[in-house]
Amino acid sequence: MSTKRGNWNSKLGFILAASGSAIGLGNIVFFSSNAYQYGGGAFYLPYFIALFVLGLPIMMVEFGIGTLTGKSFPLALRELAGKRAEFVGWWSIGSAMFITAYYIAILGWAFGMMVGAFGSLFEPGISAPFTPFETPTDSPSAMVYFFNLLATWWPVLFIFVIWGLNLLILRKGASSIEKAVRIFVPLMWVFMIGLVIRGLTLDGGFDGVMYLFTPDFEGISDASVWRGAFSQMFFSLSLGLGTMTAYASYLPRDADQVNNSMLVSFLNCSFEFIAGIAIFSLLFVFTLNPAGSTLSLSFFVIPQGINELSTIPWITRLFGFLFFFLIVIAGITSSISLIEGPASAMMDKLKITRKKALTIVAIPCAIGSVLCTLPIIIDKGLAGNGTLGLSILDITDHWVFSYSLLIVGLVESLAIGWILGADKLRMALNQHSKWNLGKWFNTLIKFVIPIVLLTVILSSLWNERT
């Protein structure tokens, strides 16, 4: 491996960076909203199937090809599975850039909510007494604040702040990323654990947990629940976007990627469940209504719950601040990896410096982030029904989040399974691992994953008709 590409200073650095990439908006904002939308208990059976059948093996593939070749995703695929496979690598890099644009727009808004904690966003007792599953009759204060914020230019400034932080962290590659994740990743665990303890010690906090965990076998006959769970798993584990391969390429070749995949998936999914428990407990204690878009749960509803947490203003504000600070730092450790994937692919392919590659990635993506949030765009939409800015974001989110990741997963498993040969990758992984992947790994990569993904993609496309 050429040292010019940079290396992690330690195995811990890699684990922190990869789990920091995995843990992000997906775990806090999207997981709880998906789990709610798809009916709590109906969600987690598909979710666990998605973890063991797709998530974990594909992470082994993406980590594996990174260390095996020491290259970023498109070129790693090219080296192992030929020129045509490189194409899917670039497709995934393109998708990563789309996602980066709106991911950072959302982080800009979260930053705005964090700043709101210094004003009157979080005040004890201001909340509408909804019951879950009921349509709101009153506008909660956080919603009003959020829409007021959208109608200003502030989010554009916040987006630049977030972009600035990202580029600062990425400027030296693995070594500067490692410095940041050593602080951010432990911090977000501490805050999340604090939040869950607070949620569960409230009277009635456990009801939310029951809702989240009581199995609902009727819901799982719906194809969209499966697509929801599969896309959630891909996104949450940072798969299908070239990220994990880029990070893995900075590891020495003898890294135990089977073990690392298990560790990172475990950390990610535990965080996701802890976040789900924290959020659902608040939801049920304060009988809040999470109806609405993906963002409404974290941006409008939880702030209402926070306002009920204490009668002492500074404590309420502190909780509000910490919740959005948590979202911002968890988001940044993910967005840096979203940017690193495309940047490292360009450095490898075009043989350009990191600075140039970062510029090429940052300019169009930052324009995209601003477009998602420009007041004139959103204002116009607000006058009509629904927000145009949010809908640019929603459309990209729908197609990229729901389909692109799964398509990349499908093609990469076919390429690695059939062109390189699943057995070759399995041998390479086993060579440095204390675990021994059996022949079932080949069957998963060659048959099970492609068939499952194809079925879900086709049936979801079929459902788009309505």
Smallest distance from the beta carbon of 384 to ligand PHE, in angstroms? 30
Of 46-54, 194-202, 234-242, 406-414, the segment contacting ligand PHE by CB under 6 A is: 234-242
- Residue 238 or residue 316: which is nearer to ligand PHE going by CB? 238
Which residue is listed with tokens 């469940």?
273
Of 71-79, 149-157, 304-312, 332-340, the segment contacting ligand PHE by CB under 6 A is: 332-340
**Nearest residue relative to ligand PHE (C-beta):** 26
CA distance 184 to 170: 14
Q: Report 376-435 residues binding ligand PHE (CB under 6 A).
A: none
Contact between residue 316 and residue 309 where contact means Cβ atoms under 8 Å apart = yes
- Residue 25 or residue 149: which is nearer to ligand PHE going by CB? 25
- Residue 26 or residue 205: which is nearer to ligand PHE going by CB? 26
Q: Which of 141, 236, 281, 369 binds ligand PHE (CB under 6 A)?
A: 236
Please report whether residue 243 would count as binding ligand PHE according to CB under 6 A: yes
Of 21-29, 136-144, 157-165, 254-262, the segment contacting ligand PHE by CB under 6 A is: 21-29
CA distance 326 to 345: 29
Count of chain residues binding ligand PHE (CB under 6 A): 14
- Residue 104 or residue 338: which is nearer to ligand PHE going by CB? 338
Of 35-43, 143-151, 159-167, 232-240, the segment contacting ligand PHE by CB under 6 A is: 232-240
Of 18-26, 157-165, 170-178, 371-379, the segment contacting ligand PHE by CB under 6 A is: 18-26
Binding track over 23-42 against ligand PHE, x by CB under 6 A: -xxxx---------------
Q: Report 199-218 residues binding ligand PHE (CB under 6 A).
A: none
Contact between residue 381 and residue 390 where contact means Cβ atoms under 8 Å apart = yes
Smallest distance from the beta carbon of 241 to ligand PHE, in angstroms? 4
Chain Cα centroid distance, residue 331: 8
Q: Which residues contact 395 (CB under 8 A, 6 or more apart)?
A: none
Q: Which residues contact 186 (CB under 8 A, 6 or more apart)?
A: 16
b/e 363-386 (16+ beta carbons within 10 angstroms → b): eebbebbbebbbbebbeebbeeee
CA distance 47 to 50: 5
Q: Which of 7, 19, 21, 369 binds ligand PHE (CB under 6 A)?
A: 21
- Position 338, amino acid: L
- Residue 17 or residue 437: which is nearer to ligand PHE going by CB? 17
Of 68-76, 218-226, 233-241, 443-451, the segment contacting ligand PHE by CB under 6 A is: 233-241
Of 38-46, 334-342, 373-381, 407-415, the segment contacting ligand PHE by CB under 6 A is: 334-342
- Residue 26 or residue 173: which is nearer to ligand PHE going by CB? 26
Smallest distance from the beta carbon of 273 to ligand PHE, in angstroms? 13
Please report whether residue 334 would count as binding ligand PHE according to CB under 6 A: yes
CA distance 121 to 223: 39
Q: Which of 127, 307, 337, 413 binds ligand PHE (CB under 6 A)?
A: 337
Of 46-54, 238-246, 371-379, 435-443, the segment contacting ligand PHE by CB under 6 A is: 238-246
Q: Which residues contact 156 (CB under 8 A, 6 or more apart)?
A: 108, 370, 373, 374, 375
Please report whether residue 238 would count as binding ligand PHE according to CB under 6 A: yes
- Residue 145 or residue 234: which is nearer to ligand PHE going by CB? 234
Tell me how far CA of residue 198 lies from CA of 185, 279, 319, 325, 437, in angstroms: 20, 11, 10, 17, 41
Please report whether residue 248 would count as binding ligand PHE according to CB under 6 A: no
Please report whether residue 336 would count as binding ligand PHE according to CB under 6 A: no
Binding site for ligand PHE (CB under 6 A): 21-22, 24-27, 235-236, 238, 241, 243, 334, 337-338
